[in-house]
Each structure stands twice: as structure tokens, then as C-alpha cells.
Amino acid sequence: MLQDYLFPETISEAVSFLKSNEGQARIIAGGTDLLLDIPEGKIKTSCLVDITRIPELSKITLEDGVISIGAAVTHNQAANSELIQEKAAALAQAASCVGSYQIRNSATVIGNVCNAQPAADTAVALVALGAVAEIANPGGTEYVPVEKMYAGVGKSTIDSASQLVTRVSFPAAQKKQGTAFVRLHQRKALALPMLNVAAMVALEGGKFLWARIAMAPVGPGPVRALSAEEILKGAEVTPEVIEKAAQSALEQANPRSSALRGSKEYRTSVLPVLVRRALEQAVANAGSSCK
């Protein structure tokens, strides 16, 4: 039973509210997932600590080539940010796919990550971008790659009853770097992805310097297509190389059958197509094209 609803003004106040409630209080940002889980009894809490009015958490910043997104930044704010569109297109695209327009006005990017659904769109994009989360603990600050924030299906390593993710940071795409996000879904809104893939590439002299590819739902959280990344490293930017990398993505993928969102067989057949498209679009976003 909810007894209290608090608005801390600073990060340290938020953490101390959690601490003084000894596990009975919980962070709320947009609340669009949490407020479904509480009535269903999936989450028990007696106090919500609303972090959306902590001024520094509402910011999207670029400092020394690093973009940071605060914990109160909504999907629409991220999707509509010119900085994100220009320097982290994959994240802008992913954020614009979640839920509906109304949901995106409330739901936060970091909330999407902390809710830890296997194919959380913005988490997939953030893994491809190499994002790291800043976490405020009672004992101090900790940094964890978004890739390491999944403890299992629907389970985050973040304990929202004692800690708070304050922001996620990742390097802005530089010259000859590009990012992209592709998603397969049954409807254009209010539909969870059947599959989603994000990619970031760095090119030089017609070759891939490196690539980072994240795909879902093919594991408990976004999964890196490490074989594909290895194939691309140092290889020519050609349709053949991209196709070979796309096929190899299956080596790390273990999709499950979903009655609503595609069988294992279907997802296995389609995944390489999405990886190929993500790579082609990331190459195009880097200002290049496949010869």
C-alpha cells in the first residue's frame, strides 16, 4: 500500500529518502511500467520517490565529445533532440518507437533501461552506442556499462529501492562514424518489437575500423553480435562483407518462440536481414555508402 509520494530536490536527497525508508521506498520517473506493476503486486512499495523534478536530471548535454542523458529525460525529449538526432541517430530512432506519443511524453529513457525488458528499444540503442550508466548509491557513485545492467529477463542489476541511475553517457558520433536502429513490429505504435537491432560503425578509407552491434530479443537483454563485429573489423565496406557479418550474427542469437511476436524459426530467418539493414543505414549515417 502506497503511503507517501516524495519529490526530492537533489540526487543526494533522493538517495537518502531511499536509505531512510530501508527498502520500502522506490524510485519513480515516468512510471509507465511501474504503475502497471504495483497494482498487479509484482512490485511492493510503500513510498514513491519521484526524481523528475531534480533539475540536473532533465538535461541532455554534450561535453568533451560525450553525450549525457539525465534520468528524467523522456523518450520524446530524446527523440526530438537535435543533438541526439545528429550525433546518436540510433537512440533518437529507438526512442521514437516506444509505446505511443503519450507514453513517450511520460516514460524516460533510463526507466526503459531499468525496467530491463529483453528488447527495450533504447537499451538496445545504448548498448550499440557503448553507453555507461552513472549510478548513485548510498556509499558513492558507480559506473556500469548499460550492457551489464541486465540480471535476467525483466531483471535489472539496479535496485530501485536503494540506488538511482542518474544518467547514461556515450561518445557522440564523430566524423566517419554512424549509427542506426531498425525494428520489426506488427504495428507502428503500441507494439513491442518482434526484433530490433542497433549498430554503430566507424569507417576509414573504405574500411570498417570497428563496429558495435546490439540485437534483441535474442537473450535476457540486448546481445552483442560479436562474430559480426569481428568480421567487420578492418574489412572493406562492401555488400558482401555486410551480408557475411549479418549472417554470422546468428552465432550469438538465441531467440525464443513468442505466440504474439514470431516463432524462433521466423526470428532466426529474419534477424540477419535486420542486422544487414542496420549496418547499411549506419554506414549511410556515417556519410558513406556500400560500394
Partner 1 sequence: MSSKILKFTLNGEPVEIAVSPEDMLVDVLRDKLELTGTKKGCGKGECGACTIIMDGEAVNSCLVPAMKAMSASVETIEGIGGPGKFHPVQETFMDLGAIQCGFCTPGMIMSSKALLDKTTSPTSQEIKKALAGNICRCTGYVKIEEAVMAAAEKMREKQ
Residues in touch with partner 1 (CB under 8 A): 1-5, 7, 28, 31-32, 35-36, 47-48, 50, 52, 76, 99-103, 105-106, 188-190
Residue whose CB is less far from partner 1, 35 or 153: 35
Least distance in Å: CB of 281 to partner 1? 19
**Closest by alpha carbon to 286, among 197, 182, 209?**
209
The CB density around residue 73, as the number of other CB atoms within 10 Å, is 26
Bridge partners, 181 (sequence order) = 198
The residues, ordered by sequence, that sit 6+ positions from 117 with a Cβ below 8 Å of its Cβ are: 123, 154, 192
Q: Quickly list H helices, the chain.
A: 11-20, 34-37, 75-80, 82-87, 89-95, 101-106, 109-114, 121-128, 226-232, 239-248, 264-285
Instruction: Tell me how far, at minimum, the Cβ of 146 lies from partner 1, in Å.
Output: 24
For the chain, what is the largest distance between any 2 Cα atoms, rounded to a whole number of angstroms? 62
Least distance from partner 1 to the Cβ atom of residue 101, Å? 5
- Minimal distance in Å, beta carbon 188 to partner 1? 6
Nearer to partner 1, 1 or 259 (CB): 1
Least distance to partner 1 from the beta carbon of 270, Å? 23
Helix pair 264-285, 239-248: axis angle to 10 deg: 140
Helix (H) or strand (E) holding 69: strand 66-70
- Closer of 76 and 169 to partner 1 (Cβ): 76
130-to-14, 15, 39, 148, 259 alpha-carbon distances in Å: 27, 26, 35, 11, 32
Nearer Cβ to partner 1 (1/260): 1
* C-alpha span between 51 and 30 (Å, rounded): 9
User: Least CB distance from residue 198 to partner 1, whole Å?
Assistant: 21
64: left (phi over 0), alpha (psi -120 to 50) or beta: left
State which residue, 5 or 174, has the beta carbon closest to partner 1: 5
Q: Which is nearer to partner 1, 64 or 82 (CB)?
A: 82
Q: 66 or 190: whose CB is closer to partner 1?
A: 190
Rounded CA gap, 201 and 208, in Å?
Answer: 7
Least Cβ distance, residue 5 to partner 1 (angstroms): 4
